[in-house]
Chain A
Amino acid sequence: MKSRYIKYLAIFAIGLPLLGSCTKDYLDVDPRGTVLESTYYKNPEEAFAGLIAAYDPLGWEAGNTYHNIGAVNAASDDAYAGGGGSSDMNTWQVWNNYTLDPAVGPQEEYWDRNFTGVSRANTLLEKVQAGIPGLDEATSARYIAEAKFLRAYYYFDLVRLFKNVPLFTAPLSTEEIYNVTQASPEEVYAQVEKDLAEAIPNLPLTVPATTEGGRVTQGTGKALLGKVYLYEQKWAHAANQLQDVNGEPGGTSQYGYKLLDNYGAIFSPDNKFNSESILEIVHTSVANGGWGSWPGFEGNVGVQMFGPRGYAGPIYQAGWGFNPLTLDLVNTLKQDPRYKSTVANIDSIAEAGSASYEKGYQNTGYFIEKYAPKTEWLSTGGGDAVLNYPNDYIEIRLADAYLMEAEALIQSGGNLERAAALLNAVRARVGLAPVTATLDNIYKERRLELATEGHRWYDLVRTGRAATVLAPMGFVAGKHDILPIPLVELNNTQLVQNPGYN
């Protein structure tokens, strides 16, 4: 071959890679596991994954609130913020001493958690209502009912914590984002009632506890609706809904609810989805969460938070010393049969010489027992053990529903006999003598029965007692009944700050 041909052949060969890279396909890269919304929600599995996503915020554990327990306990007169120092977990501290302001406080996390839940529920509703290939009608109806329940749940938290929040019943389009204004609390409550009323008929009566425990049922829906009515002071409506949930006081209700004989067993991870549990937020140790997965833990980090700091001894693991109990609560409980199941008296264990622990900030020596980090529950799987406690958080349980109904009955002038039966069934379970069904007795019972479960602050505020009970902590009526709208939410939006926080 003549060399000049070689020359041109070489040019041709050099130019070859050019052909490979000039086509438009070259710029269309493989999404490799990135799923596009336009191609998603196309089969029953993907619809289920969407449902899971709507449940997900229920279990969020980003440290600033810990469900409806940690921060809200610190805001009440049952527990302090505690921790390692006066600014450790500052969002709890400032609620504990009522120095919270729009920039600093637990509000942002409550806000984000619940609006994320609203958004996911809205997305699921839109997708399922548009039709998902292969998803049968019954399952569709159940998903829609669950999504509506969840939307109601999230909005109930929003409206009771913030009062003035924007209301969305469909995914928000890009154009609308900055034009949103707040709805009135009445509108929000109306939507919550409507969602729950529409959801209840399509929810299952019960679910198999082993595989589906924690998914919402008709009983869950009615219990929440009853609770919502209670907050709205629609007493008769509340009593009606809760009656369906509770059935005969002390007996087994139509949904299978029954008070457990053993009060202490209610909170044991061995006893998940027991007959007293109505709304249970599920945790697991099998997700092997590590610090890197913050805040998406599936374990219960709250449990670790509540443990005594630097504890070394029997039964418990070391925790971070949050929510030490107030002496007021401890003294109120002292003579009560529920004391041992409610209060972990670490001081006495330490003084007996069988354990040591570090006295953290606001330490009283008394800690939460119901969600204490016990050695038997410590995860042995992967991830960081302290982030993987399997304890579920029971947000509504039957005793609570009994007491709510009893309260509603008295307030509405309804069946006082039934009110007394409900109240005394709760007392009888722990061997206490009956008392008369007065509001005062019910309030007292709620504090003792539900201590450290996160209800106290809400109860005080809802019944108007916060102004006096919490005043020594800095509570200002008319201001601290609700949280400030998070400061960042006011940037560039149409939202208006809540009164007292300007």
Chain B
Amino acid sequence: MKKFIYLAINCTIAASCYSTVSQANPLPLSVHSKYAVTVTGKVTSEAGEPLIGASVALQGTTTGAITNVNGEYSITVPDEGGTLVVSYIGFLTQEVPISDRTTINITLQTDAKALEEVVVIGYGTQKKSVVTGAITSVAASDIENQQVTRVEQALQGRTSGVTVVTSSGAPGASATVRVRGITTLNNNDPLYVVDGVVINGGLDYLNQADIASIEVLKDAASAAIYGTRGAAGVILVTTKKGQTGGIRVNYNAYYGTQAPVRKLDLLNATEYATLRNEASVANGGPIIYDDPRSLGEGTNWQDIVFEENARIQNHELSISGGNEKSTFYTSFGYLDQEGIVAPEISNYKRFNVRLNSTHKVAKWLTIGQNLGYSHIRSQGGLNTNSEFGGPLSSAINLDPVTPALITDPTILEDPESIYNAQPTAVRNPQGYPYGISTEVQQEMTNPLAYIQTQLGNYGWSDNFVGNVFAEVEPIAGLTFRSTLGTKLAYWGGESFRPLYYLNAASSSIQTAFNRDRNMGFDYNIENIVSYTRSINKHNFTVLLGQGAYKDGNTSGINISFNNIPATSFEQASFNLKVPTANRTSDAYEGIEHTISSLFGRVTYNYDEKYLFTGIIRRDGSSRFGANNKYGYFPSASVGWVASRENFWPANEIVNFLKVRGSYGVVGNDAIDNFRYVSTVGSGRNYTFGNDFYYIGYSPNAPANPDLKWEETSQTNFGFEATVFQDFNLTFDWYNKVTTGILQPVQLPGYVGATGQPFGNVADMKNQGVELELGYGKQIGEFDFRINGNVAYLQNEVTFLGEGKEFLDGGAGVQNIAYPLTRTAVGQPVGAFYGFKTVGIFQNQEDIASYTNSEGKVIQPDAKPGDFRWADSNDDGTIDESDRTFLGSPLPDWTYGITLNAAWKSFDLLVFGQGVAGNKIFQGLRRLDIPSANFQRAALNRWTGEGTSNTFPRLTTEDSNDNFTNPSDFYLEDGDYFRIKTLQLGYTLPQALADRLHMQKLRVYASSNNLITFTEYTGYDPEIGGGSLGIDRAFYPQSRSFLVGVNVGF
């Protein structure tokens, strides 16, 4: 058997390729036949341009040739009777009978289908012009120039109706993604499907450079094909595939530095001491600092925790190619990022490998696989966005009087100083102890010392995500496709706790070395049969599918050695044995979650003019009892391409117009397992006698056998239009209603339940509009394209249970007695809730005259300089019932704008995004530590009549709760607009690139988060994660400056 290897040809783009390698001459590929005939000719496009690297093959054999730089080929065939198959990417393959000719010139027609935009819709693709659902597509070209480190971030500002909020600026941190708002009180994360594999646990394993496209299925009609878990939207990610016609090698890299965008204005030592004295005296206390001026500037803790030059580098190499039989795409990625806060313990490294390939084994059989592997190693011992410690929170709250490092010999030599009394006070390498504040304690510790206690600790993960598939097409249009997808994940961490004394509340008197290891294995199997047929102008596709999904198959172990003889992470090892009594271990296994599904879809259009799609899916979930095991999720959508009607007047204004509407129902089973029965839990332990320690069991919560699917129905109307040739416009309006939201029923304490039962309790709705606009134009050598999108969304809770006005609890902050947020009927989810201020009492008269409608003095105990609280219920006193809704952490508006421009060899990218209409709780200062440092705004405090109507007086005993009441005093507007990316690139002219044996060479300089316009006074107005919009010392995103290169071979 003869094998021919189609050698790599270093150019695949037709128009401007000059090659210096030996394929300049036609490539003769010999066969041994005594009647051999050589056929030559030229392959050109319709425009007459030579097509270089086109494949010319003899049908039914392995004989073939590739066209040279002039588009010429030469092929030796056994006789004159065969047929040549000529193919080239982006063109229709042509079969040409040789018919006794020796010179055959071939003109290939462009493949209109390949050029027309197609959209991935779940189990298939559809031409964009006939899609009837609300789907937003992000192509590789949209994101490849963005230096984001996680895929989720690539969606920010690019897709209307998709809100992306980073959950921390720490390297590798995830993002909170919401499709069309908050759909449920449960998990609102959209369903991620990567190459057909349902991915649980986020996309951090993906190398962004491997992504070919991302589609967001926003309306229920589109998501219904993923019925069960589509309620919060579906995000389909397709990774890159190899393409026929030679091998391509791409190398992309960037390197840069990151720095904090801004720092808080905190008081210096003199100012701090002055204010402390004032607060103490106001309360009848003593002067604390005799001479504040002598303290000078003091310690700037922010300068200590922030890194102004944190490195980031990323490298990505991909090799792809293929022929008619097989294609492949292989890539390698490496990302190394330091954090801007305490980079010694905040950094992230990721390695990626991907191999995607397809093989056409027979004309009717295709098999293939997509496989990605990632290894992540990260350090993140920062306790980010937590008011309870961590370097950032400490830096904000620590007093500037305490020195960072103690070098004063009188202190060092004083045997009674804390540094000598506490032998485990943390010291620097030179032996000097780090300063311990006597003013600000609790969890607030010297960041330098804290960092020392965390050194070396890290977490890691290994992910193998991929699928294999086989597709059979026995007759044209009928395909059977079977896919097995899996995610195999391993993750864990190692940490060492040394002996340390950070302050009275934070010390360690035992060493401990800890290691945990976990694994999870999810899979899904799907079998699909589809049939596509066109009869006259009737085009239809029928699809039937079956799927089985399993996740939650996890397990892990965790071991600690206490009192291990080591002083640092490096020294710690499990080979340093300790007595059994000093070992603790734990292990667990997850409960599997299974879903069994049947689904069907019919898409039909008449002449691409009248469009219809109908979907039904039946899902069974292991999370429900026999009463409601299965849920049915139907949807239908229709569309009308008005511009294709004969009566549509030929005009220059509206070139294309499609109107569409849809309605559908999707479900959600995002609750824990076995919630429908009463379970018995352990951990209710007690001890008898001398250490006879028993494990007790008791029921968790009353049962709810009628637990059923949470349902989200959605109506969507929209239109898409092209006007004036160059304007693209997409508009959508939707109304999304979620009913039967699965909620823990917060039982009164007197029930005495240890857990909470679940019920289908609440209802919620989201209404919004979305608009996407695009405009592109080429004027001479200047080419530009501008895309913008804007979305408006209103969320409202409509029901929380019979007679229930609001949910108990809410987000707490610090030790404030009242929750900051409340989820109540008629309000958006988790709205801010607290006291309202109405100015400051300037004098005693103000206090006496502040009365309710019956003339009762509302705050008789207040002093001038205290807040005047709104007496919302007009009962003449201020108590918890005067709390009221103060705004929402959810933005009303989200928008994004992208400008791409090119002039000659230069290209420019400006990408900005923003939100409007939300509030942020600026909870940066610890209110339960009265001695915590202040932000500069405190200098404008009330100090006497007329001095301030917004910032109250300072006093150690805050009897009016000016500072400890959750109030609008802490709420700020969260509006911002941010230039996310600004990038200037230069591409080497092709002739020069060719001389360097490159197909492409581009260099660029880029900046992320260059400018942010906001009135918010914290570090960063973009605050996601656990509780949206509450700033507990949020790890801010950095501003970075990068240089990068894109090379193609």
Q: How far is the CB of B599 from chain A (nearest CB, A)?
A: 13
A88 B677 Cβ-Cβ under 8 A: no
Stretch at the interface among B97-105, B311-319, B589-597: B589-597
Chain B interface residue bracket vs A: 35 or more
> Please, which residues of chain B bring their CB within 8 A of the CB of A38?
677-678
* A283 within 8 Å of B (CB atoms): yes
Within 8 A of B (CB), among A1-60: 3-4, 7-8, 10-11, 14-15, 17-18, 20-22, 24, 26-38, 40, 46, 48-56, 58-59
A29 touches B622 (CB 8 A): yes
A331 interfacial contact with B, CB 8 Å = no
Chain A hits for B620, CB < 8 A? 24, 27
Cα–Cα distance between A116 and B472 once the two chains are bound (Å): 61
Q: How far is the CB of A313 from chain B (nearest CB, A)?
A: 8
Which residues of A202-236 are within 8 A (CB) of B? 208-215
Min C-beta distance of A33 to chain B, whole Å: 7
Query: Given A8, A29, A37, A48, which contacts B679 in the complex, CB threshold below 8 Å?
Result: A37
Given contacts A26-B594, A31-B674, A52-B686, contact A356 B418 (CB under 8 A): yes
Check if A138 is an interface residue, CB within 8 A of chain B: no
Is B702 within 8 A of A273, CB to CB?
Answer: no
Known: A298-B687, A487-B880. A49 touches B697 (CB 8 A): yes
B364 near A: Cβ within 8 Å?
A: yes
CA distance A298 to B592 in the complex (A): 31
CB-based contact A8/B686 at 8 Å: no
B-binding segment of A79-87, A187-195, A255-263, A341-349: A79-87
Given that A35-B679, A36-B680 are contacting pairs, would A320 and B591 also be in contact in the complex, using a CB cutoff of 8 Å?
Answer: no
Q: What are the residues of chain B within 8 A of A112 when measuring CB–CB?
A: 749, 752
B525 CB contacts on chain A under 8 angstroms: 17-18, 20-21
Given A90-B817, A356-B416, do A55 and B750 touch, yes or no (CB 8 Å)?
no
**Would B686 and A56 count as touching, CB distance under 8 A?**
yes
Among B323-331, B578-586, B1016-1024, the stretch that binds chain A is B578-586
Q: Which of B591, B752, B801 contacts A117 (CB 8 A)?
A: B752
B470 near A17 (CB under 8 angstroms)? no
A184 at the interface (CB under 8 A from B): no
> Are A378 and B509 interface neighbours, CB within 8 A?
yes
Tell which of A380-388, A403-411, A422-430 binds the partner. A380-388
Residues of B within 8 A of A108 (CB): 749
A287 at the interface (CB under 8 A from B): yes
Quick one: CB contact mask for B502-513 with A, threshold 8 Å, 1 for yes?
011101011010
Q: Which of B546, B548, B621, B698 contacts A120 (CB 8 A)?
A: B698
- Interface residues in B257-308 (C-beta closer than 8 Å to A): none
The A/B interface has a contact count, at CB < 8 Å, of 302
The contact string, 1 if C-beta is below 8 Å from chain B, for chain A 155-199, is 000000000011010001110011010000000000000000000
- The yes or no answer to B754 lying at the interface (CB within 8 A) is yes
Contact with A along B408-440 (1 / 0, CB 8 A): 000000001010011000000000000000100
Is A209 a contact partner of B622 (Cβ separation < 8 A)?
no
Q: For the complex, what is the distance from the CA of A88 to the CA of B505, rounded to whole Å?
A: 11
Stretch at the interface among B61-69, B177-185, B350-358, B688-696: B688-696
Q: Is the CB of A7 within 8 A of B817?
A: no
Residues of B within 8 A of A53 (CB): 684, 686, 696-698
A29-B591, A46-B697 known; A84+B442 contact, CB < 8 A: yes
Interface residues of A in 325-339 (CB under 8 A from B): none
Contacts of A117 in B (CB 8 A): 752
Residue of A nearest to B547 (CB): A21
CA distance in complex: A4, B686 (Å):
70
Which residues 456-509 of B have a CB within 8 angstroms of A? 470, 472, 474, 480-482, 484, 503-505, 507, 509
- Among B527, B750, B880: residue with most chain A CB under 10 A: B750
Chain A residues, CB < 8 A from B685: 52, 56, 287, 296, 298
Of the candidates A172, A385, A492, the one whose C-beta lies within 8 Å of that of B510 is: A385
Contacts of B590 in A (CB 8 A): 32
Q: Are A88 and B928 in contact (CB under 8 A)?
A: yes
B546 pairs with A18, CB closer than 8 A: yes
Question: Contact partner of B688 among A119, A211, A288, CB < 8 A?
Answer: A211
> In the assembled complex, which residues on chain B have CB atoms less than 8 Å from the CB atom of A173?
702
Query: Of residues A11, A21, A101, A317, which shows the largest number of chain B Cβ atoms within 10 Å of its Cβ?
Result: A21
Does B748 interact with chain A (Cβ within 8 Å)? Answer: yes
Is B629 interfacial (CB 8 A cutoff)?
Answer: yes
When C-beta atoms are compared, the residue in chain A nearest to B699 turns out to be A37
Q: A58-B686, A212-B689 are in contact. Are A17 and B484 (CB under 8 A)?
A: yes
Sorting the interface of chain A by its residue count into under 10, 10 to 19, 20 to 34 or 35 or more gives 35 or more
Q: Is the CB of B695 within 8 A of A49?
A: yes
- CB pair B680–A29 under 8 Å, yes or no, is no
- The contact string, 1 if C-beta is below 8 Å from chain B, for chain A 303-326, is 000000110100001101100000
Cβ B702 vs Cβ A85 within 8 A: no
Q: Are A27 and B596 in contact (CB under 8 A)?
A: yes
Assess whether A115 is interfacial by the CB under 8 Å rule: yes
On chain B, the residues within 8 Å of A475 by CB distance are none
- The CA-CA distance from A54 to B353 in the complex, in Å, is 54
Question: Which residues 509-558 of B have a CB within 8 angstroms of A?
Answer: 509-510, 512, 525, 527, 546-548
Q: Inside 8 A of A286's CB, which chain B residues have their CB?
A: 691, 693
A381 touches B562 (CB 8 A): yes
Residues of A within 8 A of B752 (CB): 112, 115-120, 122, 172
**Residues in chain A near residue B804, CB distance under 8 A:** 492
**A343 to B: closest C-beta gap in Å:** 21
Q: How far is the CA of A14 from the CA of B687 in the complex (A)?
A: 57
Chain A residues closer than 8 Å to B817, beta-carbon distance = 90, 103-104
A486 within 8 A of B: yes
Q: B249 in the interface, Cβ–Cβ < 8 Å?
A: no
A210 touches B693 (CB 8 A): no
B795 at the interface (CB under 8 A from A): no
Contacts of A11 in B (CB 8 A): 472, 474, 480
Indicate if the CB atoms of A50 and B696 lie closer than 8 Å. Answer: yes
**Quick one: closest A residue to B361, CB to CB?**
A10
The answer to whether B505 and A84 have CB atoms under 8 Å apart is yes
Residue pair A214, B815 in contact (C-beta under 8 Å): no
CB neighbours (8 Å) of B964 from chain A are 87
Binary contact track A104-144/B, C-beta < 8 Å → 1, others 0: 10001001100111111011000000000000000000000
Q: How far is the CB of B668 from chain A (nearest CB, A)?
A: 17
| Cβ of B41 under 8 Å from chain A | no
The answer to whether residues A14 and B689 also contact, given A30-B591, A382-B562 and a CB cut-off of 8 A, is no
- Tell yes or no: B949 within 8 A of A by CB: no
Flag whether A368 is at the interface (Cβ < 8 A): no
Query: Does B747 sit within 8 A of A, measured CB to CB?
Result: yes
CA separation between A102 and B680, bound complex, in Å?
A: 32
Complex alpha-carbon distance, A112 and B756, angstroms:
14
Residue B322 at the chain A interface, CB threshold 8 Å? no
Residues of B within 8 A of A40 (CB): 680, 697
The residue among B584, B589, B957 with the most chain A CB atoms within 10 A of its own CB is: B584
Once A36-B674, A55-B686, A382-B560 are accepted as A-B contacts, the answer to whether A14 and B472 lie under 8 Å apart by CB is: yes
Interchain residue pairs with CB less than 8 A apart (16): A4-B474, A7-B472, A8-B474, A26-B548, A27-B620, A35-B681, A37-B680, A117-B752, A120-B698, A165-B750, A174-B704, A174-B757, A312-B421, A318-B504, A382-B512, A492-B804
Extra 14 A-B pairs, beta carbons < 8 Å, given A84-B505, A116-B754, A296-B684 = A14-B482, A17-B527, A18-B527, A27-B596, A27-B622, A31-B591, A36-B679, A88-B442, A118-B752, A211-B690, A213-B689, A298-B685, A491-B806, A492-B804
- Which residues of A does B touch, CB under 8 Å? 3-4, 7-8, 10-11, 14-15, 17-18, 20-22, 24, 26-38, 40, 46, 48-56, 58-59, 84-88, 90, 101-104, 108, 111-112, 115-120, 122-123, 165-166, 168, 172-174, 177-178, 180, 208-215, 272-273, 282-288, 290, 296, 298, 309-310, 312, 317-318, 320-321, 353, 356, 358, 360, 378, 380-386, 390, 486-489, 491-493, 495
By Cβ-Cβ distance, the 8 closest A-B pairs, closest first, are A119-B752, A21-B548, A52-B696, A382-B584, A310-B504, A53-B696, A53-B698, A14-B482
